[in-house]
Homo-oligomer: A and B are copies of this chain.
Amino acid sequence: MAGNVGTPGATVAGRVMAILDAFDDQHPRLPLSELARRAGLPLPTAHRLAGELVRHGALARARGDYAIGRRLWEIGLLAPVPSTLREAASPFLNDIHAATRATVHLAVRDGEQVLYLERLAGRASVPVVSTVGSTLPLHATGVGKVLLAHAPADIRRRVLAALTRVTPYTVTQPGRLRAQLAQIRLTGYATTVEEMSLGACSVAVPVRREDQVVAAIGVVVPTLRRDRARLTAALQVAAQGIARHLGA
């Protein structure tokens, strides 16, 4: 189409996605120059495509800065996997949250990472780094360990071959983590102790559906010393409730 394409073979759809990909948690708002730079597009191209996305509501522009628009927020909510799981889980996560006042998570495995679908923030000052839509390592989080324990063997093999340290307490010896995963499959719950953040411990359990682990739920607390059994029991009841809702 164009007489002077800087990147032959690039498509308009690809450029549109490059624009949308320019935004992230650290950059929710971008001026035009920065948007073009991050999208890898010449200024006039970014200007024209962003303008069209604004007209469709996919982007919004206020005081010179572009941001993701309401229309994309609405479209994103239509993604079936996050919305089905969140809808089924929400009442149970609220119950756990009401009972514990702790941060509560709903997560799924995404390749070799854990993806957070829902997070109810705790009031206690426990450091929690997860945000909805973000991913964290499988081996260093409670929900992640549950999902890893029930992952296909090739996924476990790859994760166990590349264990990175997050805190001094992160388990990075493959043998030790493998033993933990076997234990998780046996007992039905996972724990972490300051492995993802200092000062934060967690318990998590699987949500099963037809012999598959489709998600994990967990809580993050300052210490597991007193409440581990109680938290585990509450999470297991909630997980069963979620599974029933999913079966409907």
Whether A214 is near chain B, meaning CB under 8 Å from some CB there, is: no
Q: How far is the CA of A53 from the CA of B205 in the complex (A)?
A: 34
Whether A58 is near chain B, meaning CB under 8 Å from some CB there, is: yes
Most B Cβ at <10 Å: residue of A53, A70, A120, A123 = A70
> Within 8 Å CB of A73, what residues of B?
76-77, 79, 82, 133
CB of A91, distance to nearest CB on chain B (Å): 6
Whether A229 is near chain B, meaning CB under 8 Å from some CB there, is: no
> Within 8 Å CB of A91, what residues of B?
121, 123
- Contact check, A68 vs B72: say whether CB atoms are below 8 A apart: no
Whether A17 is near chain B, meaning CB under 8 Å from some CB there, is: yes
Whether A52 is near chain B, meaning CB under 8 Å from some CB there, is: yes
Whether A25 is near chain B, meaning CB under 8 Å from some CB there, is: yes
Q: How far is the CA of A133 from the CA of B13 in the complex (A)?
A: 25
Chain A count of residues within 8 A CB distance of the other chain: 48
CB of A20, distance to nearest CB on chain B (Å): 5
Binary per-residue interface labels of chain A (52-68) against chain B in the complex, 1 for a CB within 8 Å, 0 otherwise: 11001010100000011
- Contact check, B72 vs A132: say whether CB atoms are below 8 A apart: no
- Contact check, A49 vs B13: say whether CB atoms are below 8 A apart: yes
- Contact check, A77 vs B121: say whether CB atoms are below 8 A apart: no
Whether A183 is near chain B, meaning CB under 8 Å from some CB there, is: no
Most B Cβ at <10 Å: residue of A67, A77, A82 = A77
Contacts from A to B (Cβ < 8 Å):
1, 11-14, 16-17, 20-21, 23-25, 28-29, 49, 52-53, 56, 58, 60, 67-70, 72-83, 90-91, 94, 97-98, 110, 115, 120-121, 123, 132-133
